[in-house]
Structure formats: structure tokens, C-alpha cells
Amino acid sequence: YPLFQRGGPQLRIFRPNFFMLAVRPGVPQPEDTVQFRVSMEMTKVDIRNYLERIYNVPVAAVRTRIQYGANNKRNHRNQRVKKPDYKVAYVQLGQGQTFQFPNLFPEKEQDAETRPFDDFRDKYMEKEKQKQEGDPRRGGVPDWFGL
């Protein structure tokens, strides 16, 4: 950004090119804390203004850190492959609001058709596996082994 000096114009960004990704926290966070992955160039002030102006979310506090992406993996040419760095923002909501990251993959409830089909399929797979294994009395020894 252009450096601000006293008497100069206030920096205003219209139609910002940033986007913020809300993620599920890896470790449990307090109820009023939301975790975001943001662009590396965003500052705490930017994040606060972004949420307050565009989404009307009351923000009480913002803390950021930069997560270093590891550089240990190697590709087929033995070159190191870097995972990208990203900035993580922990936003504490104001006015007593809370946020819980939703469960994006809920268990689909099975209707009358799929349940017996699933049971039939499981039983069939079990029978196939039994056929493959062979006689349990032989204790895992293959059947070509013998006199």
C-alpha cells in the first residue's frame, strides 16, 4: 500500500480483490472466535473493515499469524515441492455473537429403498471375503501347501 503520511489522503479500497475463506479450526476455539484463511497482504485493519462493511459482521478483535507451508516433499525429480504459505486470522465477534463451524457432510438418512440394498451389499461382500480366505482350520496356511 502507499505509505500514509499526515495530511495525505485516506486509503480507500473499492471492490477489493481479497477474499476470505472461513475454515474449521484445527484446535477447539472459544465460541465467539471464527477462523479465516486470508490473503498474505491483508492486515488486521483490512480484515476488520472487510467484515464490517461488506458483510455487516460486528468485529471485536482480530489476531493474525502467517502459517509457513513446508518445503520437505520431493517430486519425481527430487526437487523440493513447497506447500504455499497462508495467513490465518482469528476474528472475535462483537455484541456477544457466537459461531460454530457447520458440519458440511452430514449423515444422509436412508430411505426404504437404500437400506435393504446396503444390507444385501454388505452381506455379499462378507461372503466373497469368506470364500477368498479358505479353511479357518488350516490356520492361515495356503491350500497349495501340503503333501
Partner 1 sequence: MAALGAWRLLRPGRRWFSETVPGAPSPPGSPLYPPVVASITAKSKAGKLRRQQRFIERVHAAATVEEKLRLYGKLQRPKYMVYPQTFALNADRWYRSFTRTVLVPGMPPRAAAAKPPAAAAGATPEACRAPEPGAEAPAAAEAPAAAKTPEPAAGEAPYVDIGELRSLACDALLQESFYQKKKRPFLYRDQDHTPGPFLTQLVSTLAASLSGRNPLLAASSLDLNPEVNYYWHHGEEVVVHGHRKGRVDPVRFQIDDNPHLQIRVPKQLPEVVPLESDLGDVPVIDHKPSKLPLFKKQYENKVFIGSKVADPCCYGHTQFHLLPDKLKRERFIRERLEDQIEVVYRSNGIASLFAWTAAQAMYQGFWSEADVTRPFVSQAVVTDGKYFAFFCYQLNTLALSAETIKNNPRKNICWGTDSKPLYDVVEDGHVKGFNDEVLLQLVRFLLNRPKEL
Within 10 angstroms of residue 34's Cβ, the number of other Cβ atoms is: 23
Binding mask 59-78 for partner 1 (x = CB under 8 A): -xx-x---------------
Q: Which stretch binds partner 1 (CB under 8 A): 23-31, 78-86, 97-105, 119-127?
A: 23-31
d(CA 62, CA 31): 15
State how beta strands 21-23 and 73-74 pair.
unpaired
Q: Which stretch binds partner 1 (CB under 8 A): 10-18, 69-77, 92-100, 124-132?
A: 92-100
Least separation in angstroms between CB 32 and partner 1: 8
Q: Which is nearer to partner 1, 32 or 86 (CB)?
A: 32
Indicate whether 28 belongs to the interface with partner 1 (CB under 8 A).
yes
Cα–Cα distance between 86 and 83 in angstroms, integer? 10
Amino acid at 32: D
Alpha-carbon distance of 37 to 90, in angstroms, equals 9
Window contacting partner 1 (CB under 8 A); options: 69-77, 88-96, 102-110, 116-124: 88-96
33-38, strands of its sheet edge to edge: 21-23, 33-38, 86-93, 59-67
* DSSP code for 69: P
Please tell me the count of residues contacting partner 1 according to CB under 8 A. Answer: 13
Our finding on whether 45 is near partner 1 (CB under 8 A) is no
Residues that bind partner 1 (CB under 8 A): 27-30, 32-33, 58, 60-61, 63, 92, 94, 96
